[in-house]
Amino acid sequence: MSCNGREFIPFHTPQIGDAEIESVVETLRSGWLTTGSKVKRFEEEFSKYLGCSHAIAVNSGTAALHLALDAVGIKEGDEVIVPTMTFAATAEVVLYFKARPVFVDCRPDTLNIDSDQIEKAITSKTKAIIPVHFGGQPCEMDQILRLARKYNLRTIEDAAHALPTSYQDKKIGTIGDVTCFSFYATKTITTGEGGMATTENPEWSDRMRMMSLHGISHDAWKRYTKEGSWHYEVLYPGFKYNLTDVAAALGIEQLKKCDGFWRARKRIAAIYDKAFGDLEEIQTPVRRPGIEHAWHLYVIQLNLEGLRLTRNQFIEALREEGIGTSVHFIPLHLHPYYRHKFGYKPADFPNASSVFHRIVSLPIYPKMTEADVESVIAAVSKVIKQNHRL
Ligand SMILES: Cc1ncc(COP(=O)(O)O)c(C=O)c1O
């Protein structure tokens, strides 16, 4: 792509190699397109990779969150704690049950849920908490799990950004009651669209598997195989959330590269840190000790007091320089639905409301060349220099 005669560096492009293409083609040729042996293998490889007992592949991270809430028994009228600094999916799944997502503000530095503010949001109706590992940095799980034990809450981790991530040497995916990953096109590994739920609990695992395919009795997908039978029984009104073998074929190959992709992103993060570390106008991502960051996102915060332009103008200026960026996220309480339905105001979540005007996500993905990374640094430095407030 070109911009003003120069190459455009998009915010993200996936890294799809020959192995992925061959694996998908082989699956297409096999004649088995929907859920089958490839999905089973993807689940097995995924649970081996994380060291978890059960992994259930589904067709999106949102589906994984929905099934997780169903498995732990969320009901109409329940409350579920959700950070406001997240994507729509984290809260909408709570609303599927006619339950209420109760928002909590973020930490101003890590942008993760502020664990110190969770307890005051808990009521007698609270049944679960959904920590979101923002950008790939794990939340303060010790504090969150302590609160979950104290108030008998289920912990459903939204790990859409957190593959691979660890908290105190434990991989995310092995800590909470259920952990939900996303393989959306921009995520750290991709199946185009897809997701995975992991758990140590066999009953929740069985429930999620069954509900992911119409609530039909065990191994329904086998009914068109030699070992399968035409007979099936609907035990509950379930959903249509199964992953296809075509997508799993992609996922199996992407998973093999997960650590390599991670090292590449980590290297880019370190280069950005060094390049922007001395710029007063930019705060680089803050991370806590004792964690490994997935570096799904590299979110800078602009010191607007030192600049003569807004965040939106900064994004436009970078676009002019040929650099694609994004914003993660527009906090949920600022969206019309949540403002109108629950009466939320910006002042209810001052940290998220304030950082929202300062955050910019820079490109960070394995396909970036060293020259791409240098171009991003040069463009950011130029825009900052040109708009320095004297
Ligand atoms: C924090 C977060 N949670 C959940 C999701 C939903 O994942 P999916 O798009 O796979 O449904 C996303 C992104 O897409 C996300 O960023």
- What does the pLDDT look like over 237-293, one tens digit per residue? 999 999 999 999 999 999 999 999 999 999 999 999 999 999 999 999 999 999 999
Q: What are φ and ψ of residue 318, in 5° steps?
A: -65, -40
Q: Are residues 112 and 230 in the same domain?
A: yes
Residue of 140, 66, 129, 136 whose CA lies nearest to 103: 129
Is the same domain home to 292 and 245? no
* Ligand 1 pocket mutation, candidates 85, 165, 182, criterion most atoms within 8 A of CB: 182
Q: Are residues 69 and 209 in the same domain?
A: yes
Both 133 and 201 in a single domain?
yes
Helix (H) or strand (E) holding 80: strand 79-83
Are 141 and 73 within one domain?
Answer: yes
Residue that is last in its domain, among 216, 235, 256: 256
Number of domains into which the chain is organized: 2
Pocket test for ligand 1, best of 62, 112, 196 (most atoms within 8 A of CB): 62
Q: 49-58, 190-199, 209-218, 357-366 — which is least confidently predicted?
A: 209-218
Q: 249 and 144: one domain? A: yes
Whether 287 and 229 map to the same domain: the answer is no
Q: Which CATH number belongs to the domain containing residue 220 in this structure? A: 3.40.640.10
Residue 102 belongs to a domain: yes
Predicted model pTM? 0.96
The answer on 271 and 246 residing in a single domain is no
Is 187 a residue of the active site?
yes
Residue 246: inside a domain: yes
For residues 216-236, one letter each, b for 16 or more C-beta atoms within 10 angstroms of the residue's C-beta and e for the rest, the string is beeebbeeeeeeeeeebeeee
Range(s) of the domain holding residue 121:
18-256
Domain stop point among 256, 286, 311: 256
**pLDDT tens-digit profile of 316-361?**
999 999 999 999 999 999 999 999 999 999 999 999 999 999 999 9
Per the prediction, the chain carries an average pLDDT of 96
User: Where is average pLDDT lowest: 3-12, 205-214, 251-260, 340-349?
Assistant: 3-12
